[in-house]
Amino acid sequence: MRGPGGWWRRKSTPQKVETYTRWSFYFFAVMEFFSVGFTSVAPLGARLGGAVMLVVAVHATIAFVTVSRAVDWTRGRRPQPIGLMWTLAAVTAAVSVAALAIAERGPAGESVDTAAGGVFGVILVFGPGIIALGVRDRRRAFGIAAGFAAGTWVVTIALGAPALTALFTALIVLIGGTFIAFVAVFSVWLLNAVYELDEARETRARLAVAEERLRFGRDLHDVMGRNLAVIALKSELAVQLAQRGRPEAAAQMVEVQRLAHESQREVREVVRGYREADLASELAGAQGVLTAAGIDCTVSGRAPAGLPAGVQSALGWVVREAATNVLRHGDARWCAVRLGVLEGRVVLSVENDGVEAGDGEGASGSSGSGLAGLRERLAQIDGTLEAGPAGKGLFRLTAEIPLPSESAPSEPIAAVPAVSEVMP
């Protein structure tokens, strides 16, 4: 059963930042309505207050939709919401002028002036800031706040307010609008930066895989290149000798056959080197790949001396599969690999914080053919494999293989060699 926070934990880090950014600005629109729209009814009366509340609700709704479209435009999912931005600007200006008119020419009373001033201030601070979400140029974003401040000064003077009061009011609008615009600009920059960093991490992981493929290709080329060239030359020579009826053609074909068998053997050795996982190399490789993908990976422990090759290969496969699953699934920030001996059994544990709460699968997903294949491999040498949640937000994969009595060490295992010791 999925937990109440599972939808949040299943999101990647960029998606979490985007959701946080959206709802931060959605909250501005909601707070606008409840802070000044809803509270205007009592001081302004049922009719005038109800009208003000309705107008503020319309402004908040337009602001809410503008935030959604502007964030989508920032991520390249929608066109720039120019029409919505102009609509929000027009409604912001109209509501602000109406609030000033109520304060200057409306019913007398300190509560009326306070309510109208609150509507005026909140609308003119939140409006330009939300519009700034849909502007790419920072100078234009701040220019929007400055434009509303200048308009405030002109309208305040036109309604008969003293020049000093008009200037003070415009300054408040400028400071508040500029601050919200700065928050919008910074939020958009941070959101784009997080997505770019996530894409860079994925690119590094793909480059690590591509580098391994290139290394495999180079090894095959080194093995097969020369032999294939010699086979081609000797085959051509054998054809020419056979056409002339020379008995040496058979000898050349025997040599071609020998080279072909030799090439097959060498290719098998190359492939076997990749199929038979070396434990030390796999530990170093997993640490390197995960670190390149932006995951903090630590490796502790080393295999005991005299560990059979079959056991090392099986544990190497466990490390390889676990590291692959950490990269493919979940949103892990760290991974810890521990190797030790406990009661005559070598124990390999891979733990990470990429588990998705409530679904029983994490960065090392407990279902799938990968872990099923590992269990079959370990079962051949009487080993076991356990995988599943290991606490809040954690996932642990543990492999245990019994050791021959002569291989069991009498003291704790030392630290694993440095990566440079096992990687070329």
Position 337 scores a pLDDT of 92
What is the predicted pLDDT for the residue at 398?
92
Which residue ranges in the chain fall short of pLDDT 50?
A: 1, 356-368, 407-424
DSSP conformation letters of 282-311: HHHHHHHHHHHTT-EEEEE--PPTT--HHH
Q: 228-243 pLDDT, tens per residue?
A: 877 888 888 888 888 8
Cα 207 to Cα 292: distance, rounded to the nearest angstrom: 9
Q: What is the pTM of this model?
A: 0.55
Looking at residue 277, its pLDDT comes to 58
- Please check whether residue 135 is in contact with residue 69, taking contact to mean a CB–CB distance below 8 angstroms: no
Triad 49, 50, 54: Cα angle to 5° = 115
Question: In the prediction, which pLDDT does 412 show?
Answer: 38
Which position has the token pair 């245990």? 400
- Taking CA atoms, 173 is separated from 34, 66, 132, 148, 166, in Å, by 20, 21, 15, 7, 11
Burial class (CB in 10 A: 0-12, 13-18, 19+), 162: exposed
pLDDT at residue 391, as a whole number: 76
Task: Report phi then psi at 314, rounded to 5.
Answer: -65, -45
């076991």: which residue's tokens?
A: 384
| Residue 343 token pair | 């009661």
**How much is the pLDDT for 126?**
86
Amino acid at 43: P
Rounded distance between C-alpha atoms, residue 264 and residue 233, angstroms: 18
